C-alpha cells in the first residue's frame, strides 16, 4: 500500500510539473513579444552599441512579459507598471552597484516589495518576478552611463508596450469568461490582503532576505554571472513548501533543456547577429506558450536570456555552464529557505488566492 501510495503521489507531482493548459496559441502576442526583443538587439548591433541594445531588449522583454493577453482589462496600465518598474530598477541598480552593502540592501527591499503583487494571483506573481529580475540582472552586468541606460530601457519598454497593445487589440472576452483584474483593483486589493495575511508577508520578507543573502555571497566571492543564483531563487520561492518544490522541479528540468539548446547555439557560432536572431525566435516561442505551461516558459526563457546576453558579452559554452551550476545552487538555497524561514506557518495557513 505504501509503495502504491508513493507511486500515486509521484504521478500527481509529475502531472502537476508538466501540466499544459489547453488553450489556443495567440500568434499575434507571440510575434509582438519577439519584436520587443529582436528590434532593440538588432538595432544595438547595427549602431555599434550592443550593450545599450541589450538593456533596451531587457526592458522590452520585461514590459511585454508583464502585459497580459487580450483577455485582460487595463492592459496598458499593466504595461506602464512594468515600464516604470524597469526604469526604477535600472536606476536603483546603477546607484547601488559600486557598493556591495548598498546592493544587498536594495535587493532586499526591491524583491520584497515587488513580490507582494502575488496577492492578486498568477499574473501579479509574474509581474513581480519580471521586475525583480530586471534589477538583479542589471545590478550584475557592467555599469553603463545612467542617462543612456535609462533611455535605452525606456525606449525598449515603450516599444514593447506599443507592440503588445496592438497585438492584443483583437476580440474581447465573451460575457461570463474569466478575465484578469484591472490594475486599480489589483493595487487596492494588494494592501488589504497583505494586512490580513501573515503568510504573504512572511513570503515577501523571505524572498527579500534570501535574495539579498545570495547577492552578498556572490559579490564577496566575485562569481562571474553570479546573479543567476539570485534570479533562480526569485523564480522558485513560493508561499508554501509544496509549490516551491514543484517550481524547483519545473525550473531544474526546464533550465536543463533550455541550457542544452543555448549551449548548442553558442558552440556552433559566436556571430552576435545569429545569436540575437536566435534569441528573438526563442522569445517568440516563450510568448506563444507562456499562458500554457510554466515548464515551457522556463524552458524557453532560459535560452532567450542566455542568447541575449551572449550576443553582447560572448563567453562561449562557458556561460551555459555557469547558468547550470548557479541554477542548482539557487534551487538548493531556495528550498532551504522555504523550510528555515516560517516553513511551518506556510504549511498550516495557505495563502489566499
pLDDT at 244: 66
pLDDT at 347: 42
pLDDT digits (tens, 9 = 90+) for 129-159: 889 999 999 999 887 788 898 999 999 999 9
Nearest Cα neighbor of 14 from 213, 250, 194, 210 is: 250
Pairwise CA distance, residues 334 & 194, whole Å: 22
Based on the structure, what is the number of domains in the chain?
1
Pairwise CA distance, residues 134 & 90, whole Å: 7
Give the predicted TM-score (pTM) of the model. Answer: 0.81
Name 34's Cβ contacts closer than 8 Å, sequence gap at least 6: 280, 281, 283, 284, 287
| Structural domain range at position 322 | 24-170+197-345
**pLDDT value at 171 more than 80:** no
pLDDT at 43: 96
User: Exposure string (b/e) for 300-317, b if CB count within 10 Å is 16 or more?
Assistant: bbbbbbbbbbbbbebeee
Confidence class for position 197, pLDDT limits 50, 70, 90: low
The answer as to whether 3 is a domain residue is: no
- The phi-psi region of residue 342 (left if phi > 0; otherwise alpha if psi is between -120 and 50; otherwise beta) is left
The answer as to whether 189 is a domain residue is: no
The answer as to whether 12 is a domain residue is: no
Pairwise CA distance, residues 159 & 149, whole Å: 16
Any idea what DSSP says for residue 26? -
Residue scoring higher pLDDT (223 or 297)? 223
The answer as to whether 105 is a domain residue is: yes
pLDDT digits (tens, 9 = 90+) for 259-315: 888 889 998 999 999 999 999 999 999 998 887 777 778 788 888 988 999 999 888
**pLDDT value at 256 more than 90:** no
Which spans in the chain are helix H?
A: 2-17, 27-46, 50-66, 75-96, 100-115, 122-140, 146-167, 183-196, 198-220, 227-236, 241-268, 272-289, 294-310, 318-340, 343-348
**pLDDT value at 188 more than 80:** no
The answer as to whether 352 is a domain residue is: no
The answer as to whether 176 is a domain residue is: no
Nearest Cα neighbor of 93 from 63, 123, 125, 58 is: 58
The answer as to whether 351 is a domain residue is: no
Residue 145: how many other CB atoms lie within 10 Å: 10
User: Which phi and psi (to 5°) does residue 91 adopt?
Assistant: -65, -50
pLDDT digits (tens, 9 = 90+) for 67-116: 887 666 678 888 898 899 999 999 999 999 999 999 999 999 999 999 88
The answer as to whether 253 is a domain residue is: yes
pLDDT at 10: 59
**pLDDT value at 12 more than 80:** no
Amino acid at each position: 500500500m505504501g509503495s502504491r501510495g508513493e507511486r500515486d503521489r509521484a504521478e500527481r507531482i509529475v502531472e502537476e510539473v508538466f501540466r499544459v493548459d489547453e488553450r489556443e496559441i495567440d500568434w499575434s502576442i507571440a510575434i509582438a513579444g519577439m519584436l520587443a526583443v529582436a528590434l532593440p538587439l538588432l538595432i544595438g548591433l547595427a549602431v555599434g552599441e550592443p550593450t545599450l541594445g541589450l538593456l533596451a531588449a531587457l526592458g522590452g522583454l520585461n514590459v511585454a512579459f508583464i502585459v497580459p493577453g487580450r483577455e485582460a482589462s487595463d492592459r496598458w496600465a499593466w504595461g506602464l507598471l512594468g515600464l516604470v518598474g524597469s526604469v526604477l530598477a535600472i536606476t536603483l541598480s546603477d546607484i547601488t552597484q559600486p557598493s556591495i552593502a548598498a546592493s544587498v540592501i536594495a535587493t532586499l527591499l526591491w524583491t520584497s516589495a515587488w513580490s507582494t503583487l502575488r496577492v492578486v494571483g498568477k499574473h501579479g506573481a509574474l509581474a513581480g518576478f519580471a521586475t525583480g529580475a530586471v534589477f538583479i540582472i542589471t545590478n550584475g552586468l557592467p555599469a553603463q552611463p545612467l542617462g543612456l541606460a535609462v533611455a535605452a530601457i525606456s525606449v525598449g519598454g515603450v516599444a514593447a508596450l506599443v507592440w503588445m497593445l496592438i497585438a492584443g487589440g483583437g476580440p474581447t472576452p465573451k460575457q461570463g469568461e474569466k478575465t484578469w483584474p484591472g490594475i486599480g483593483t489589483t493595487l487596492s486589493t494588494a494592501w488589504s490582503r497583505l494586512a490580513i495575511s501573515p503568510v504573504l508577508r512572511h513570503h515577501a520578507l523571505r524572498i527579500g532576505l534570501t535574495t539579498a543573502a545570495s547577492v552578498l555571497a556572490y559579490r564577496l566571492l566575485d562569481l562571474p554571472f553570479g546573479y543567476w543564483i539570485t534570479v533562480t531563487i526569485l523564480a522558485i520561492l513560493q508561499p508554501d513548501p509544496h509549490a516551491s518544490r514543484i517550481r524547483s522541479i519545473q525550473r531544474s528540468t526546464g533550465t536543463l533543456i533550455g541550457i542544452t539548446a543555448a549551449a548548442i547555439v553558442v558552440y556552433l557560432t559566436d556571430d552576435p547577429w545569429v545569436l540575437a536572431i536566435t534569441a528573438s525566435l526563442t522569445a517568440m516561442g516563450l510568448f506563444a506558450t507562456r499562458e500554457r505551461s510554466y515548464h515551457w516558459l522556463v524552458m524557453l526563457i532560459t535560452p532567450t536570456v542566455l542568447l541575449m546576453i551572449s550576443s553582447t558579452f560572448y563567453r562561449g559554452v562557458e556561460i551555459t555552464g555557469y547558468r547550470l551550476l548557479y541554477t542548482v545552487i539557487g534551487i538548493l538555497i531556495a528550498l532551504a529557505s522555504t523550510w528555515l524561514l516560517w516553513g511551518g506557518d506556510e504549511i498550516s495557513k495557505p495563502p489566499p488566492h
